[in-house]
Structure formats: structure tokens, C-alpha cells
Structure 1
């Protein structure tokens, strides 16, 4: 069972100004976003990842580069990164480039909040299609890394908030209409392992903490009854 680390890009200039960037060009990490990405890269440095796959948008590319630069062995691909268009941001259509404050006045807004499975953004993508393509991409990539590197393989997918939320909802067995209950902050790390019988979610939206246990994390697919003993604590320094 390979393990995927779902990493959201760091904070951007659009995030800081309350703008829905969508797929617009020229949206880059701000200084806080670069600092966040550096912290995440440092956390992941303890894990020898076998690959880094990223949304092709600039903010994800920048975050992915921070991660690759801290890895001792460069994964395969351009500059150690592969780009997958199925991990790109939702196509928000006519909503793209508008402020969240303005969008909150739209009739579609409460449906986005409470029934996203019924939402198709005007001139854009449906949220159900967004989830379908992103989940399929993650599962496809995961199977490929496991086939190539074995069940202990750990890889990174760098993507966007709604994309990662939809992937986590699927892994948790949640209907898409419940995915707004999940929070995914900038540069956060969520951890999923896909097994033959079900996915296992090890963490969501983490911004700190030791990840070195992932270096030797293969084991039984069965859930430990009673919760198990957990992971060994990191060595003291």
C-alpha cells in the first residue's frame, strides 16, 4: 500500500486579498506562502519520497520545488516534479477573479456551501466532475507508484484546497455534499493510504509534526481494534 501526502500550495497574493484565483495566470506565493512551503518541505525532508506530482499552476509548482529541493534523492520528472492537469484547480468559470465577499451575494453561494454536488459554476466545471477527475488521478498515480516502488512507497501530490478536500471526502467515504466540513490550509499535509479493501486516512490538514515514521510505514491493511499503539516518537535531539 503506497502512501500519498496531499499538500496544498502555500498562501498566495490572491488568498491574502480574498480573491478567487481559479486557473488565472500569474498567481504566485507571497512571502508567507514561501515560508509555509519551506516549513512543509523541511517536514517532508525526513521522508524519502519516490515522486512529486503537481498541479501545473504556478503556485503549486513553486510549492513543489520547495519540497524537491529538500529531498536527498531527486524524484523522477522535470526538475524532480511531474505535472498532472487532473490535479489542477477547479474551473470556476465566471466566478474566477472575483472576490469571495462579492461571490457570497450570488444565489449559487449557499448551494456551494450546502449541496456542492448540485453545483456547476457558470461557464465552468461542476464540483462533481472536479472530484471525479482528481480522485481518479490520485488513485491512478498511487497505483503506479506502488507498482514501480513497492508497498512502502511514499509520494507527494501538490494541489489546491477544493481538490484536496474532495479527495479526502472520497477517502473518508463522505458524500461530496459534506466536503465543506473539511478544512485544508495553505501548505498543509494530509496523509492517505489506499488499500485493497478501503482507503485509510492517517492525517488531515497538518501544519506541524514529525513525519519520519512514514519512512517505514508499510504494514497490515487491517485497522487495529482499539486504536493500536501508534507510531514511535521521533528521536530526541
Structure 2
């Protein structure tokens, strides 16, 4: 099929393995960011084993080191290179970066909850707002899709909050209540199909099939750590 029609691309959205920031309970969004823990590296190897037999045309990762380290074993198993793409990074923490206190954790999540309620002007102190997040993440996914023919399958290794927020705002068959209440674990995989033009449908969430729900509020929603 012709490149550029943007119909029925399959994307496996993957959260990176456990990072040292995850283990410490720290808010972490800035590049290059922390490395994976030993457990995170084991998770990355397990991801390679679980997805390594799928037909995958490309493996992408964000600019954060933990995403690239997670993607590397899978790419090697598939005989591919990890392609690092701008704008797939985590939702920015601004002035809350690297903090571990409860006030900072709440301060990071509260704007994301506000986005779900329709207030895309909310942001963490010193961080971009929801308008900026959706603009850059939509563009990043569209850029990835535009590089592939219809019926292609790609892996995008990124981050928990960014993935859940984006799906809360853009998937056709899940709503903000679903994305809030359904966890995305380290190396969790969410399979979606569709295109920037037709929209996105969640096929499975960490191995569990996802059915058809009411059309979703377009504002977005998320909880979780990067």
C-alpha cells in the first residue's frame, strides 16, 4: 500500500523498564535522565523475548536514556537499530524535577487531572501546559507513522504518564476514567491501531483485550510516573 495514506498502522506503546528514579520514587522527566536498574535491565530482556517474534518494522525510543536502554535488547533481537525521536519524552516536571516528596508528586499529577477536566492551561510550576503536550506528542506520533507504509508495525518505547495522557485524549475506545484507573507497569505494552487521520483504537492493554467504549473526552488524562 502507498506510503502516506496513514491507514491501519500498528503501534506497540511500551513504558521503559524500572529506572533508578522509579526505584527512588522521584519525579523524573528531563533528558538524559537516569539509567535502568538491574531489575529494569531484566525487564528489557524479557520485553525482547515477548515481542521478539512479532513482525515489527522499526523500534523507536524517546531521548531519555532509560527508554533507549529498554529498547536496545528488542532492537538487537530483531536486527534493527533503535531510532531516537524528539518529542516522545515524558511530560515535563518543570521545577519539580528530581524531587521525591509527596508535595512534588501531587504537584506533578494535579495538572494532568485538570487536563482530563478540560483545563489544558494547567501545568506544573515551570513546565509546559496541556496544549503544548498534545501538540508535541501528536506531532511525534504523526512523524513516526509517516515513515511507514500501511499495515506496518512499530514499537515506541516511552513513558508512563505521557502514554496514558495521550491515549486518554486520542484513543477512540477508552476514556479518561479507564486511563486513570488502569496501570501501565514498567515494560508494559499497549497495542494500538489506526492513524493520525482516522484516530487510534486500543487493541490490548498489557495483554488484556480492550473492547469498544463510549467515545472519549478529547482532553486527556493520566496518572503514573515517568
Global fold match (TM > 0.5): yes
- C-alpha distance in structure 1 between counterparts of 2:31 and 2:148, whole Å: 30
Q: Where do 5+ consecutive residues of structure 1 fail to align?
A: 75-79, 210-222, 224-237
Q: Is the 8 A contact 2:31 2:65 kept in 1?
A: no
- C-alpha distance in structure 2 between counterparts of 1:60 and 1:201, whole Å: 21
Cα displacement (A) at 1:81? 1.6
Is 1:141 aligned to residue 140 of structure 2?
Answer: no
Q: Is the 8 A contact 2:10 2:192 kept in 1?
A: yes
- C-alpha distance in structure 1 between counterparts of 2:129 and 2:182, whole Å: 19
Cα displacement (A) at 1:114? 4.9
* Among 103, 107, 130, the residue aligned to 1:127: 130
CA RMSD, 1 decimal: 2.7
3-state SS of 1:7 partner: strand
Q: Where do 5+ consecutive residues of structure 2 fail to align?
A: 1-7, 213-226
User: What TM-score results when the alignment is normalised by the length of structure 1?
Assistant: 0.73
3-state SS of 1:85 partner: coil
1:3 corresponds to: 10
- C-alpha distance in structure 2 between counterparts of 1:115 and 1:28, whole Å: 30
- C-alpha distance in structure 1 between counterparts of 2:178 and 2:139, whole Å: 19
* Structure of higher CA gyration radius: 1
1:204 corresponds to: 205
Q: Is the 8 A contact 1:60 1:158 kept in 2?
A: yes
2:72 corresponds to: 65
Given the superposition, is the C-alpha separation of residues 163 and 105 from structure 1 closer, same or farther in structure 2, using an over 3 Å criterion? closer
Q: Spell out, residue by residue over 1:147-204, the C-alpha distance to the aligned partner (whole angstroms, 9 max, x if none).
A: xxxx331111111111111232212366779753442211111111115644221112
Given the superposition, is the C-alpha separation of residues 175 and 16 from structure 1 closer, same or farther in structure 2, using an over 3 Å criterion? same
Q: Is the 8 A contact 1:23 1:90 kept in 2?
A: no
1:56 corresponds to: 63
Q: Is the 8 A contact 1:54 1:81 kept in 2?
A: yes
Given the superposition, is the C-alpha separation of residues 197 and 21 from structure 1 closer, same or farther in structure 2, using an over 3 Å criterion? closer
1:94 corresponds to: 95
Given the superposition, is the C-alpha separation of residues 177 and 136 from structure 1 closer, same or farther in structure 2, using an over 3 Å criterion? farther
Cα displacement (A) at 1:29? 0.5
How many residues are matched?
198
